[in-house]
Amino acid sequence: MNEINIRPYQPSDLNALRAITVASFGGVALEQLLEQKLGRWDERGWKARKADHIDDDCAANPGGVFIAERSGHLLGYITTRVDRHNARGRIPNMAVTEEARGLGLGRRLIRHALDYFRSQGLKIAQIETMASNEIGQHLYPSCGFEEMGRQVHYAMKL
């Protein structure tokens, strides 16, 4: 079996990252909850809006986006944001394809992102998840993250 490698993001990865995102975030995306509660308010829908988050992450910090692949096949990714002024790193998005779940890939991607934050001289790492994301609520504490507080999202249709 070929080894899974983690490598830097390349712009040619973007469409695959968008597809992995849409396939992975059903039931745990704020964009989906907004649409379920308020109805669809545009022609694009929640999947397109969630995929746009990946565009934003890759544009904001392309050097902090990492791809997990085996034999050229993308299995997952993690995105990061760096706030050097406050010595803080944030992981806004991470996803693993269904075929690669259970291989410890999420944990490897998080470790890779944390090593990246350390190499950037950062002192704090943050990640967040929706209450409905049971995997994240188990994985993140097992990687050393501690819950700091809960956030409630409010929205209204205009």
Q: For residue 27, what pLDDT is reported?
A: 83
Rounded to an integer, the average pLDDT of 42-66 is 95
| pLDDT above 70: residue 105 | yes
Rounded to an integer, the average pLDDT of 43-57 is 94
Beta strands in 71-143 (DSSP E): 73-83, 88-96, 124-127
Rounded to an integer, the average pLDDT of 103-123 is 97
Measure the CA dihedral 91/97/103/107, to 10°: 0
| pLDDT above 70: residue 29 | yes
Rounded to an integer, the average pLDDT of 37-56 is 92
Question: What are the Cα distances from residue 96, in Å, to 65, 82, 100, 145?
Answer: 14, 22, 6, 19
For the segment(s) 10-142, the CATH number from 3.40.630.30, 3.65.10.10, 1.10.357.10, 3.40.50.300 is: 3.40.630.30
Q: Which residue has the tokens 């809006």?
A: 49
Q: For residue 26, what pLDDT is reported?
A: 84
Q: Is 85 helix (H, G, I), strand (E, B) or coil?
A: coil
